[in-house]
Amino acid sequence: MDIINIHPIEINPIGIVHSLQQDTAGMPINGQQASIEIFPEYAGGLKRIEEHSHLWILSWFHQANQKVIETVPRKVNPNAPVYGVFGIRTPGRPNPIGLSLVKLDQIQGNQLIVQNLDAIDGSPVLDIKPYYEQDIIFSPRAPYIRPQQKEMRRQIFRTEALLHHQEECEGLLLAIRMALIVEEELGKLNSPDLLVSVAGSACLADTIQGLTRARVANPPRFHFVESEDNMLVRWKKGARELKFVPKHTSFTKEELNILSDEELFNIDCSSHFIF
Ligand SMILES: [Zn+2]
Per-10-residue mean pLDDT, the chain, length 275: 75 97 87 97 98 97 95 93 95 96 96 96 98 89 91 93 94 97 94 95 97 93 92 94 91 95 91 49
Q: Using an 8 Å Cβ cutoff, are 194 and 186 in contact?
A: yes
Ligand 1 midpoint to CA 207 (Å)? 8
Distance CA(54)–CA(104), nearest Å, equals 6
Cα separation values, 199 from 37, 134, 220, 244, Å: 47, 30, 16, 10
CATH superfamily of 7-135: YaeB-like (2.40.30.70)
If residue 267 lies in a helix (H) or strand (E), which one and from where to where? strand 265-268
| Spacing, Cα 201 to ligand 1 middle (Å) | 9
Distance of CA 99 from the midpoint of ligand 1 (Å) = 29
How much is the pLDDT for 3? 59
Query: How far away, in angstroms, is 107 Cα from ligand 1 center?
Result: 27
The Å distance, Cα 193 to ligand 1 centre, comes to: 26
Q: What is the pLDDT of residue 274?
A: 45
**What is the reported pLDDT for 228?**
81
Distance of CA 131 from the midpoint of ligand 1 (Å): 23
CATH architecture of residue range(s) 150-268: 2-Layer Sandwich (3.30)
Between the CA of 83 and the centroid of ligand 1 the distance, in Å, is: 37
Tell me how far the alpha carbon of residue 81 lies from the centroid of ligand 1, in angstroms: 37
CA atoms of 36 and 111, how far apart (whole Å): 5
174 CA distance to ligand 1 centroid (A)? 10
Distance from the CA of 222 to the center of ligand 1, in angstroms?
18
Give the Cα separation of 91 and 132 in Å (integer).
25
Give 209 Cα–ligand 1 centroid separation in angstroms: 13
pLDDT at 7: 85
Q: 81 in helix, strand or coil?
A: coil
Give residue 203 CA to ligand 1 midpoint distance, Å. 4
Q: What is the Cα–Cα distance from 209 to 196, expressed in whole angstroms?
A: 9
Domains of the chain: which residue ranges?
7-135, 150-268
- Report the pLDDT value the prediction gives residue 28, as an integer from 0 to 100: 87
Distance CA 213, CA 36 (A): 32
- Give residue 256 CA to ligand 1 midpoint distance, Å: 14
